[in-house]
Amino acid sequence: MNSPNVYGYGTHIIPLALAVEVTTGPVVEFGAGLFSTPFLNYYCVKAESPRKVWSYEENSAWLNRLDHLLIEKDDNHRLIHVPDIMDWVKVVEDVKAIKPSVLLIDNELPQQIQATRYRIRKALAYELLDHCEIMIMHDTESLPYTDDPEWQEFTMKAKLHHTCKRMSPWTDVLSNNPRDWKLQGLF
């Protein structure tokens, strides 16, 4: 498995690993990644008590490339292509039905809609925080997050919020699940 490097990739692995360690249910990731997807495959699917993982990705070529990195290939880890921005509406409904223990939001969007990336990721967070135990939001050090009063209010209202700043890009950890208060000592 790859380790985080100085180029800002994989900096969310430590909070993601902690969140996965203290939960037992399914895991959903928005944005299949070179670090997160193989980690989740190894840690969740290959475990003694396997957990289901759903990896949603907009870029089909990237998804195919990551498929070759998976150790375990079975129904416990599904790689799902989200070909159109409007398909995220159905994905949100699917995730609400899954009720994941951990939800990682780290998705990129096609180049032609990069300007809306922040708004879409923020909307996903707003819509799904109450439908997961722990939400991990990667890349939150940029100005849209740090200067947005709505985002600041959203994170302050969460029963658990911590921004991991030891490595850049930053990672926010959020939860509205009361049993997760024990996590405060971890983050």
Q: What is 120-133 written as a DSSP string?
A: HHHHHHHHHGGGSS
Q: Which residue has the higher pLDDT, 131 or 86?
A: 131
Among 29, 124, 35, residue whose Cα is nearest residue 79? 29
Q: What is the pLDDT of residue 91?
A: 95
* CATH number of the domain located at residue range(s) 13-97+108-185 in this protein: 3.40.50.150
pTM of the model: 0.90
Q: Percentage of the chain surpassing pLDDT 90? A: 50
In one-letter notation, the amino acid at residue 50 is P
User: If you search the block for the tokens 């994170």, which residue do you land on?
Assistant: 155
- Burial code (b: 16+ CB inside 10 Å, e: under 16) for 94-121 equals ebeebebbbbbbbbbbeeeeeeeebebb
**What tens digit of pLDDT does each residue of 50-92 get?**
999 999 998 999 998 888 878 777 889 999 999 988 898 999 9
Q: How far, in Å, CA of 97 to CA of 104, rounded? A: 16
pLDDT digits (tens, 9 = 90+) for 50-59: 999 999 998 9
Residue 134 confidence class, pLDDT cut points 50, 70, 90: very high
Could you give the CA distance from residue 187 to residue 184 in angstroms, rounded to a whole number?
5
pLDDT in the model for residue 1: 47
Range from 77-81, 140-144, 148-152 carrying the lowest mean pLDDT: 140-144
Q: Which residue has the higher pLDDT, 170 or 74?
A: 170
pLDDT at 124: 93
